Structure 1
Amino acid sequence: MDAIILVVSIFTVLITVQKGLCRGIDHLASALSWSPKVRGQVTGFATSIPEFAALISTALNGVWAAGLWNIASSNIINVVLLIIAVCWYRQYRDLWNKHFIDEMLFAGIAVAFPLVLMHFSMDQSPYTIPILLFFYLVYRLSDRVFNRAQTGPDVEGEESGSTKLGLLYIVGSIAIISVAGDFLGTSAKAIVNEMEIPVIFVGWLLGFITSLPELTTFFKVYSAAKKKGTLGGTDDTQEVLDNLTGSNMSNVGIIYPIALLTFLLVT
């Protein structure tokens, strides 16, 4: 029964992210004329909401390792999924564009960070919290310094969005995700403690499932560019790379420290 609750909770979060949260972002992006870069970063943060729900709920239920492996595995899987999307649409050359070096660098460091912390047994250290927050600040400052000149809004052919409707989608989605996240953490704790399933297995399972929003958004961006006849430019890869980096950096620089603080306070 706990396994069923876990699966239902996860898919509730995933569907809410795709049908609610991302739809809200689409409305805001169109209404506010966001550039591909901004849209990618915001989408990256949004697609990290499942990881946020999973890590916070597992932290509150004392199953820290499962949530941490969710973050670590999710960041690895996200990189693999981006490579698959790039290969599928044959955009290999874009990855060698010097303008994308910073995005790929931070996405890669975000993959290594949780693994390094676990290796040195620092994953539960209170000193890790300011280190990760500082790391995220460096990412944001570097992004502003190295990416001042960006392409303009790319909303040609899209319907005009509604700011109010977008915010309504976002607020409603966060409420649903919060409730589902509570069930997720409770069921994950039961699976680890009662069924004696290794936490690393539960973490990788969570990581794979919570990476599905990234998979769909990567392909969605390239598919939309192909329909508009703009595939082969840099805007599509700019958006998916910022989606990847925004997601991975949100996992490590925001979600991880918040969840760790929660875990330390609870335990």
Structure 2
Amino acid sequence: MLSILTLIAGLVVLVVAGDYLVRGAVALAEKLSIDPLIIGLTIVAFGTSAPELFVSLQAAFNGVSGIAIGNIIGSNIANVLLVLGAPALLMTINCRENGLGASLAVMIIMTLALMVMMWFGPLSRIDGAILLLMIGAYLGWQIKAARQCGLVTAPDYHDEVVDLPQQSWKTTVFIVGGLIGLPLGAWLTVDGASHIARMFGASETAIGLTIVAIGTSLPELVTSVMAAWRRSGAVAIGNVVGSNIFNIGLILGGTSVILPLDVDQRIVSIDMWVMLAAGLLVVGLAHWNIPIKKSGGLAMLAVFAIYIFSVF
């Protein structure tokens, strides 16, 4: 029971601390007059992936690669089936968004690159460096392309980040609180998840793919549900694609540069293929401009439930 409470507490701290860090960092960037394009493409995108980053780093340091990798693979699956499926119950999600095609291609390329790396063994420091170079090139290309098209400001990231602190002291408290809370939440999450895995005889990879992955995907889920509530469905799919790219490039790349990660055979045999299928589903929906209606959302949630059941 204590392990379950520890896991829940860790996930709550992660979500709250990640939200505070993003709001504080965005407020600071605006005070420093940093280009809104940079804020939207880097600070906001990184911030929503901060829970996954700290959990994967903590898991790697604890020697539980199953949680470190399962967290990312599971999050990318949850980002599609859960984070797009749930808001579709509130409103139809339009999968056509200007400029999304190139990002979808990058998501699939990075997914395939990660699959090849995992197929041939542990994720090494060289693999991590390659993934980091890919995410760096992607961000540089996005910024350059946006400016060449005359886009001087990013799409309004205030759809994703609300209630920014106005006073300098509040901004400082938000940033410091987030930086303290994220590693604390990661430690609680990984410790609780590891104990639960041993208690119920489940593998750490299974816990990472399911409970931890869903928990660290909560920021994306909340963002997408709120976007659907405000009738801004385009934010939902853009949020998912960006998060999946960051999860692979920044989080698994950064984690494996610090500590190489062993890959569970189950991930190679099953889960990475499910991640690819989920990514291709988004590509197909966007390419043929197929809206996700309530029935589609229910189907995606049903598939996700079946996948979770299959993991155990």
Aligned position for 2:65: 64
- Segment of structure 1 superposing worse, 65-74 or 247-256: 247-256
Q: Deviations over 1:133-179 (max 9, x none)?
A: 121122112212332233647579x8785273334312211211112
Aligned position for 1:244: 240
Aligned length: 250
Aligned position for 1:168: 173
Aligned position for 1:258: 254
Q: Are the aligned partners of 2:67 and 2:190 in contact in 1 as well (CA < 8 Å)?
A: no
Aligned position for 1:131: 130
AA at the equivalent of 1:124:
L
Cα distance change of structure 1 residues 151 and 218 upon mapping to structure 2, 3 Å threshold: farther
Question: Hey, what's the Cα distance between the residues in 1 that align with 2:12 and 2:134?
Answer: 31
Q: Tell me how large the CA RMSD over aligned residues is.
A: 3.3
Highest relative contact order (Cα 8 Å, sep 6+), 1 or 2?
1
**Cα displacement (A) at 1:3:** 3.1
Aligned: 1:219 with 2:225: yes
Q: In the TM superposition, what are the counterparts of 1:30-179 in structure 2 within 5 Å?
A: 35=36, 38-39=39-40, 41-84=42-85, 85=87, 88-92=90-94, 95-97=95-97, 99-118=99-118, 120-148=119-147, 149-150=150-151, 152=153, 154=156, 162=166, 164=168, 165-179=170-184
Q: Are the aligned partners of 1:103 and 1:245 in contact in 2 as well (CA < 8 Å)?
A: yes
TM-score by length of 1: 0.76
Q: Are the aligned partners of 2:193 and 2:204 in contact in 1 as well (CA < 8 Å)?
A: no
Q: Deviations over 1:96-134 (max 9, x none)?
A: 34522122223344444444433x133432321221112
Question: Hey, what's the Cα distance between the residues in 1 that align with 2:207 and 2:178?
Answer: 25
AA at the equivalent of 1:69:
G
Cα distance change of structure 1 residues 90 and 163 upon mapping to structure 2, 3 Å threshold: farther
Q: Are the aligned partners of 1:30 and 1:160 in contact in 2 as well (CA < 8 Å)?
A: no
Question: Hey, what's the Cα distance between the residues in 2 that align with 1:160 and 1:63?
Answer: 36
Question: Hey, what's the Cα distance between the residues in 1 that align with 2:228 and 2:152?
Answer: 17
Q: Determine helix, strand or coil for the equivalent of 1:147.
A: helix
- Segment of structure 1 superposing worse, 147-156 or 101-110: 147-156
Question: Hey, what's the Cα distance between the residues in 1 that align with 2:88 and 2:105?
Answer: 17
TM-score by length of 2: 0.67
Cα distance change of structure 1 residues 172 and 221 upon mapping to structure 2, 3 Å threshold: same
- Structure 1: any 5+ residue segments left out of the alignment? none
- Taking every aligned residue pair, what percent have the same amino acid on both sides? 22
Aligned: 1:187 with 2:204: no
